[in-house]
Amino acid sequence: MKTDRNFTLTYILLVIAQILICNFINTGPYVFLSILPAAVLCLPLGIPTILLMIIAAVTGLAVDWLAEGITGLNMAALIPVAFMRNLTVSLLFGEEHVDRGEGFSMKKNGVVKVSVAILVCQAVFLAIYIIADGAGTRPFLFNLIKFAISLVCGYLISLPVVNMLTSDKK
Amino acid sequence: MSGRTHIFRIIINAAVFIILEVAALVMLTHNGEMQNIWISKGIHNVQSFLWGGAENIWSYFTLRRQNDELARENFRLTNALRRYGPEALRGTDSDSDSAVIGGYRYVMADAVKVSNNKQHNYLILNKGYEDGIEELSGVVTNSGVIGIIDAIGRHYSYARSFKNSGMVVSARIGKEGPVGEIMWDGMSSNGAVLREIPHHIVLHQGDTVYTSGFSAIFPPDIPLGTTGEATVVNGSTYNIKVTLFEDFSSIRYVTIVSNIDKEEIQELENADED
């Protein structure tokens, strides 16, 4: 119970951190930093997909409302991450992780597999976010560069987030 | 977890995903001007794709009806041209399947069966004696002579195809050129031979061959094909290869033509033979 409470608190703090990043850290036009995909990835595996998508939607909406953004943008990008989270975990760590609701961590599953999971979630999130944000007005090359740089940066800031959220589940 | 429950769960998950995504997109359209235009454009593209696809499918399934209407229209226009020329394209009766023009009676018909791959080919047409069809009427299209009615039933008639080794039609090179007889070459699907053209005539390859009108069956000036290579036969006449206009493999709509004065002409011919 204590672990669950700690996780919920950590998750809320991460959402607040994301709001602060959006509001106060100016990364320029080519970088978009988000820790939300990593946060959704690390939500307990026992949560059903429907609830997971609702949590992702609420999280995205909170960031959209409280940060300087277009309402619905983070929400639209984060829901697919939640939708495919269990599939990603099943493919990378084995189906038993999802079936048993067993958590994953860098120590247990290795940095490579966890990194791939982070990159997949970040890629899905960024692809939708960048395309929807540009709304067909930006050149493909711009979107591609922004995607690549944001993916690398997002991966780097997601590593400690994942480590923090999964370290309690030993 | 049973397979059915698993599939049901996937469907439910997908449905909730779609609902939440649609909700997010609705919020986007209401809050971002560019996103509103972009999503509206996407929706319009999808709509036009779906409507265009539906329209194409509908058009495909109504092709038969459209073909019938076009054939009827074509028949009406052809009759008008036969009668008066282009001036007559206004105010002609579009409902009738038959017309009497210039001493010939024309009846529109569908070929319900066509034989093409034999030495003695035939056609079955969907008009019989109840439609006023008579034996020894001609079967034509705008592109040539198709055959001659040989037998008639109540609603159908049997026609000997032009692609028949024994069938000969009187033909002329150009509208005022020499007259000979044309018959199928017995080999190709669009090849014929024009015979009995006098040796002294100067020929040009590519000249159009028409029906001569020197028979009681076919009206004059129906284009049949174009002339090709010529060979001298017996030192006195030419045999000329003709490439027919008509594609016998795709015959669908034809016109049955009968000479109104055919009996009178035949009586005169018979009297002369007696």
For a pLDDT cut of 70, what percent of chain B falls above it? 93
- Examine the pLDDT at B90 and tell me if it is beyond 50: no
Q: Provide the whole-model pTM.
A: 0.54
Could you say which residues from 101 to 130 on chain B have a Cβ atom under 8 Å away from some Cβ of chain A?
none
Q: What angle do CA A75, A77, A82 make, to 5 degrees?
A: 85
Q: Could you tell me if A59 lies within 8 Å of chain B, comparing CB atoms?
A: no
Interatomic CA distance for residues B149 and B138, integer angstroms: 6
In a domain, A112, yes or no: yes
Q: Report whether B127 contacts B157 (CB < 8 A).
A: yes
In a domain, B174, yes or no: yes
Q: Report whether A74 contacts A128 (CB < 8 A).
A: no
For chain B, how many structural domains are there in total? 1
In a domain, A43, yes or no: yes
Show residues of chain B in contact with A136, CB under 8 Å. Answer: 34, 38, 41
Q: Could you tell me if B90 lies within 8 Å of chain A, comparing CB atoms?
A: no
In a domain, A36, yes or no: yes
Count Cα neighbours of A21 within 13 Å in the Cβ-side half-sphere.
18
Contact A75 B26 (CB under 8 A): no
Q: What is the CATH number of the domain that holds B198?
A: 2.40.10.340
In a domain, A170, yes or no: no
* pLDDT per residue as tens digits for the range B181-234: 999 988 888 899 999 898 888 888 899 999 988 888 898 888 899 999 988 888
Q: Could you tell me if B16 lies within 8 Å of chain A, comparing CB atoms?
A: yes
Confidence class of residue B261 from pLDDT cuts 50, 70 and 90?
Answer: confident
- The amino acid at residue B120 is H
Average pLDDT over residues A142-151: 90
The token pair that represents A158 in the structure block: 């997601």
The token pair that represents A112 in the structure block: 């490579």
Domain residue limits at A108: 5-20+30-165
Q: Which one of A64, A75, A84, A87 makes the best mutation probe of the B interface by having the most chain B beta carbons within 10 Å?
A: A75
For chain A, how many structural domains are there in total? 1
In a domain, A49, yes or no: yes
ipTM higher than threshold 0.85:
no
Contact A57 B25 (CB under 8 A): no
In a domain, A82, yes or no: yes
In a domain, A151, yes or no: yes
Q: Which one of A36, A40, A49, A95 makes the best mutation probe of the B interface by having the most chain B beta carbons within 10 Å?
A: A49
Q: Tell me what pLDDT residue B243 has.
A: 92
Contact A75 B27 (CB under 8 A): yes
Q: How many CB pairs under 8 A join A and B?
A: 67
Q: Could you tell me if A87 lies within 8 Å of chain B, comparing CB atoms?
A: no
Q: Which one of A52, A64, A70 makes the best mutation probe of the B interface by having the most chain B beta carbons within 10 Å?
A: A70
* pLDDT per residue as tens digits for the range A18-55: 888 888 887 778 888 888 898 888 888 888 888 989 99
Beta bridge partners of B104: B101, B259
Q: In angstroms, what CA-CA distances link B258 with A129, B105, B140?
A: 76, 5, 11
